[in-house]
Amino acid sequence: MKWLQSWAMKEKGVLVGNIIFSLFISFAIIIQSAMIVKVVDAVFINKNSFQSLLPLFGILIGAIVLRVLFNSWNNYLGVKMSMRVKKKVRQALLRKWEKNPLQSSMKGQAGSKVTMLVEMIDQLESFYRDYMPQVIKSIIVPIVLLVAVTMTHFYSGLILLFTAPLIPVAYIIVGMQTQKKSEKQLMELSNFSGKFLDLVQGLQTLKLFGQGKKQRDELEKSNRTFQKSTMGILKVAFASTFFIELVVTLGIGLIAIEIAYQMITFETMHFAEAFFILAIAPEFYNSIKDLGSAFHTGRGSMAAAEVIEKELNTQDQPVQWGEGTLRELPKLEIKNGQFSYDEHFTMKDLNFVIEPKSRVAIIGPTGQGKSTLLNILSGVYELEQGEIFINDKLRSHYSQDQWFSGMSYISQNPYLFTGTVAENIAMAQGEFDENRMAESIKLAQLDQWVESLPNGVHTKIGEGGRALSGGEKQRVAIARAFYKQPKIVFFDEPTMGLDLQTEQLLQNAMDAFAKTTTMVTVAHRLHTIVNADQIIVVNKGCIEMIGTHTQLQKESTLYREMIGGEQYEGTH
Amino acid sequence: MKELIDTVLKERKAVLLSIVLGAVGGITAVGLFAMSGFIISEAALKPPLYFILLLAACLKLFGFVKSVSRYFERIISHEATLTILNNLRMNFYDHLERLAPRIFTKYRSGDLLARIVGDVETLQNFFLRVFYPPIVTAIVFLTTILFTMFYSGWIAFVILISLVLTTVIIPPLLMNSHAKVGMAKLKKRGELSTEATEFLYGYRDLALSHKLHEQAEELMAISDDYAEEQAREGRMIIRDQAINAFIAMLTVAGVLILGSYFVTTGQLNGLFLAMLVLMTLTVFDFAIPMALVPTFKKESEQAMARLDEVVTEPLGKESDVGTLIKKQPFSLAMQEVSFNYADTATLKDINFVVPQGTRAAIVGPSGSGKSTIMQLLLDMYSVEKGIIRIAGQPLEEIKSEDLWSKVTVLLQQNHFFYGTVRENLIIAKRDATDDELREVLDEMELDFDLDQHVDEKGENFSGGEKQRLALARMWLKDTSVWLLDEPFSALDPSTARKLHEKLMKKTVGKTVLLVSHRLVGLEDLDQILVMEDGKLVQAGQPEELMEQQGLYMTLKEIERNTIALF
């Protein structure tokens, strides 16, 4: 709530506008009612001529026009404020994601982040569009009307003053009752959604085990529970509306009787005053009532606000960079490095050197830190303790741009952007170089594939474009790396058996890169391992051994076992 | 649309009650204000006080009746709506169940979820705002107009005219401009979420080619455009409300002008003027929401169309009709089978027989069509050309449910449900005892407690654990025919070897078809089928294949070179 309001407070102009328009609306209501009363009074009691009423009609129509206009403008302001806040919150979120270190950006699912950016921020809308202007209106209009009634007739004013608080009280009681229930309802909705997704994805498994019927019943049950809790909330809300309507009827009824006494028994009140009070009273109660419905719509924003606020407030540790330039091939050195992913997994005692132009293979069992080590070395993750040196200077000495423009990172599942093949390979690196492009495509053995495409290198790929197989994606990523002509290449070798062509390419690419650059590979292929100048065996977050293939094979039974013992010996 | 109306009409009683209660509530509300106008005028003529008190008591009664009938109208209509939505949801799910897994090549599960939750939710407006409120409004207005005619035909005519204006003429005019702005907004919104998805998925690659800032700026521009479009729509809604509110207020002014004119000419008793004015003021409260009826109707239609799109997919073969499989274990065969469907790999002229009681493996590079063969044998898709034979019978004559109950299947994607290890195991064997379950867990070298919690999709387990848990289900089901798709792909080499041996022991004398991209350990099988690019390129005993200079040899070669095991 505070967070939502703090954004509104930045829109002072809009808030002042709301106050002014609400005042004008109140005046328009009073004038409109007064004119109606005057006309009826004139013809009914005073028997005036029709001609004498014409100016009154003019004022009445004027008041109507102004009331509608002020009301619209007041609402326009709400729309404006919600638009501005949404823009600003989205910007804040995007800035945050842009500045985030990669390690936290890659955490969590992209899907839920997109939901946050699009749907959740949209949910803030009702708070600024409906709730805020209504709050202001619901404070100002009743006060002005109350003053008008009290000035006309003191006791009627008193009745309004004492019955009005019953309405907010009813809302507060309902609010307290429904809050828990609506939390429960939200939970049940998410249970239903969860159950549904779970079932839909497991449908094939269920069919094969003949369990479809039973699970369907459970889904139906979950659906019914959701229905029931929704109804529970609605019942409370309807009961409160019922109560409030009774309060309003009671209030107006009291006023009517009191006025009747005044008019008939005491003869202290005239028709015009009585009619005026009776015309204003419903307007008075309605404007308070409207606050309640606005409050319900505003409530939806609060849950969303909480999630967004939390995301904006999380602190991350970014990778430190400086301004230094990097010209030579880098020599990487890591000293006493430590890194923990979460509570469960820590890498420690990382100590080794990667010489320029050397080939390094990182091997080890799944989930024991190979990819994490690659991310640490490539500048995606920051160490918690220890240092990384590039050419004997701390990594934080160099500029981020310098480092990233001098390296390539080929992941297991490279991402292709919506765009042409050429755009995906060049990735806007300086000026487009056609020769270099052709060369890269050839080195990545993509030339035949590119020729088979309808528009060659200008064929659209990525989302909404042509779908690529895993092997093709891999090759585009390798072409991307060739085009970049990096000083160092980080390569997460695919674990799956790929098509023969890609397998062959992986070998060729390794050899081609090794001629000019440093290669750090998370390796799954014997070719890569055997040809490495240095093999780093990672296990349980530690470096188990470092050495060359011949060394390790001689000295370590564990290594022999790891790279597939008998199967390997069979071929050599 | 007709279908939607039919679904609604199933709740006939609720529909009728909602209309009656709505009308009573509406008429008493209008009556309430008319009466208070009358009382105040009457009071000005100084009647005896008891007369006024009597009228005031009536007023109270009206107020009470109004509130009570409103209360029940709301309860009944919402209850009916929720029941309707519930039925729609389950109906949708039932269709999905029959369409699985074919449907998943066409719709992502998130999309389906959006339909079952979001679109169904949108449909709640259909009953609550489109279906019965116009009827209620019509009744309330007709009653009011009839009542007014009793005093002045002209005033009744004015009310009728503006009723027609606000409910019949203006809303459809406004709807078109809404539709245009709405489309523009949706387009921007789609753009924002696609671009945001790309930004997040491609984050690392963007960061590494330092395009992050540029892309973020672009996203912000789209986000701004989207907010502008939303604001445009918001302003349009306000404008429409203003137009209708303006007409309603002008009508009140019109009634006042006409009424006062008739009073001065003596055609109308001044006593009733306040009554008519207040009545008009109230009755238009009912007309204003009508302006949005066409918009809600359109929205409901669109939501229904999206649901229909899935619901009207051709269902294919019913899974519970057909003949039963008589022999056990049975043979599996394909004759000249070709297949080509959306995301699955294509198959061309596949011919093979796995005779009953023999064991075969399908090998080949990824994407060559191995898994598609499995899916086809399980009757998950229907083939375009050729015949699949199960125990010699054409598959299309066989009852799918019977086939599924007689094969033990391990898919590449094995689903685990949110719950416990026990719940996830006993779906394979309903009556299994805890001891039995523990035994298979031991067999799989899984140190799990039966009550151990399983997250959605088994996300709290590693790939290897999930695979072994799936294998444990196979061990429990244990029919005479086994189909396994890459059963050991997520296991470390020594566990894979051990389990492979256990599998070989377990399946002696059974019909087995094993899909594998690894060749190690397949020497004991009776037959190996080698796939490449959707074609069966080699088939025979392992020793025979080793002698041929073919793909099998090459694959063996690559395998020696790849340690894809860790």
Instruction: Count CB pairs under 8 A between chains A and B.
Output: 391
Contact, A350 vs A373, CB < 8 A?
yes
Query: Which chain A positions have a beta carbon within 8 Å of B93's beta carbon?
Result: 196, 199, 216, 219
Res B221: pLDDT: 94
Give B 446-465 residues with CB within 8 A of chain A: 456-457, 462-464
**Residue closest to B469 by CA, chosen among B534, B400, B521, B414:** B414
pLDDT value at B253 more than 60: yes
In this prediction, residue A102 has a pLDDT band, given cuts at 50, 70 and 90, of: low
d(CA B486, CA B488): 6
Is 3.40.50.2300 the CATH number for A2-313? no
Verify that B97 and B233 share a domain, yes or no.
Answer: yes
User: Measured between CA atoms, how close is B16 to chain A, in angstroms?
Assistant: 20
Residue where the block lists tokens 């229905």: A227
The 3-state secondary structure of B118-130, one letter per residue? HHHHHCHHHHHHH
The one-letter amino acid code at A260 reads A
Give per-residue pLDDT as tens, B389-412.
Answer: 999 999 988 988 888 889 999 987
Verify that B232 and B355 share a domain, yes or no.
Answer: no
Determine whether the interchain pair A497/B365 forms a contact, defined as Cβ–Cβ distance below 8 Å.
yes
Give per-residue pLDDT as tens, B38-47.
Answer: 988 888 888 8
Res B292: pLDDT: 78
Judged by a CB distance cut-off of 8 A, whether residue B432 touches chain A is no
Give A 353-372 residues with CB within 8 A of chain B: 363-367
Looking up residue B452, the CATH number of its domain turns out to be 3.40.50.300
Res B563: pLDDT: 56
Res B506: pLDDT: 92
Determine whether the interchain pair B113/A193 forms a contact, defined as Cβ–Cβ distance below 8 Å.
yes
User: Measured between CA atoms, how close is B424 to chain A, in angstroms?
Assistant: 11
Own/partner contacts of B426-435, CB < 8 Å, gap of 24 or more, are: B426/B476, B427/A205, B427/A206, B427/A209, B427/A211, B427/B473, B428/A209, B428/B473, B428/B474, B428/B476, B428/B477, B429/B476, B429/B477, B432/B476
Judged by a CB distance cut-off of 8 A, whether residue B318 touches chain A is no
Verify that B110 and B155 share a domain, yes or no.
Answer: yes
d(CA B33, CA B306): 45
pTM of the full structure: 0.74
Looking up residue B131, the CATH number of its domain turns out to be 1.20.1560.10
User: Measured between CA atoms, how close is A470 to chain B, in angstroms?
Assistant: 9
Instruction: Tell how strand A488-492 and strand A518-522 pair up.
Output: parallel
Mean pLDDT of A315-344: 81
Give per-residue pLDDT as tens, A521-549.
Answer: 988 777 788 889 999 998 888 888 899 98
Task: Tell me if B323 is assigned to some domain.
Answer: no
Give per-residue pLDDT as tens, B210-225.
Answer: 778 888 899 999 999 9
Verify that B46 and B181 share a domain, yes or no.
Answer: yes
Q: How many CB atoms lie within 10 A of CB B288?
A: 16
Shared fold status for A329-406+486-572 and A414-485: yes
Last residue of a domain, one of B282, B311, B340: B311
What is the rounded (10 degree) CA torsion for A91, A95, A96, A99?
A: 180
- Tokens encoding A52: 């004498």
Topology, domain A329-406+486-572: Rossmann fold (3.40.50)
Q: Where are the domains of chain A?
A: 2-313, 329-406+486-572, 414-485
Res A412: pLDDT: 77
d(CA B413, CA A205): 9
φ, ψ for residue B538, nearest 5 deg: -150, 150
Judged by a CB distance cut-off of 8 A, whether residue A545 touches chain B is no
Verify that B51 and B138 share a domain, yes or no.
Answer: yes
d(CA A432, CA A423): 9
Res A568: pLDDT: 39
Query: Which chain B positions have a beta carbon within 8 Å of A53's beta carbon?
Result: 260
In this prediction, residue B352 has a pLDDT band, given cuts at 50, 70 and 90, of: very high
Judged by a CB distance cut-off of 8 A, whether residue B52 touches chain A is yes
Angle (CA) A536 A542 A548, round 5°:
15
Verify that B132 and B215 share a domain, yes or no.
Answer: yes
pLDDT value at A164 more than 60: yes
The residue range of the domain holding B533 is 332-561
Give per-residue pLDDT as tens, A20-37.
Answer: 999 999 999 999 999 999
DSSP H or E run through A385 = strand A385-390
φ, ψ for residue A558, nearest 5 deg: -60, -45
Mean pLDDT of A253-273: 85
In this prediction, residue B566 has a pLDDT band, given cuts at 50, 70 and 90, of: very low
Determine whether the interchain pair B415/A64 forms a contact, defined as Cβ–Cβ distance below 8 Å.
no
Contact, B538 vs B545, CB < 8 A?
yes
Topology, domain A414-485: Rossmann fold (3.40.50)
Task: Tell me if B566 is assigned to some domain.
Answer: no
- Using DSSP's 3-state secondary structure scheme, residue A466 falls into strand
Q: In the beta sheet, which residues pair with residue B485?
A: B515
Q: Sort A330 into a burial class: Cβ within 10 Å, 0-12 / 13-18 / 19+.
A: buried
Q: What is the ipTM of this complex?
A: 0.78
Task: Tell me if B368 is assigned to some domain.
Answer: yes
Give per-residue pLDDT as tens, A197-217.
Answer: 777 777 778 878 877 777 788
Number of domains making up chain B: 2
User: Measured between CA atoms, how close is B142 to chain A, in angstroms?
Assistant: 24
Q: Which of B107-111, B413-417, B510-514 has the weakest average pLDDT?
A: B107-111
Verify that B210 and B339 share a domain, yes or no.
Answer: no
pLDDT value at B119 more than 90: no
Q: How many CB atoms lie within 10 A of CB B471?
A: 24
User: Measured between CA atoms, how close is A30 to chain B, in angstroms?
Assistant: 14
Judged by a CB distance cut-off of 8 A, whether residue B404 touches chain A is yes
Determine whether the interchain pair B117/A193 forms a contact, defined as Cβ–Cβ distance below 8 Å.
yes
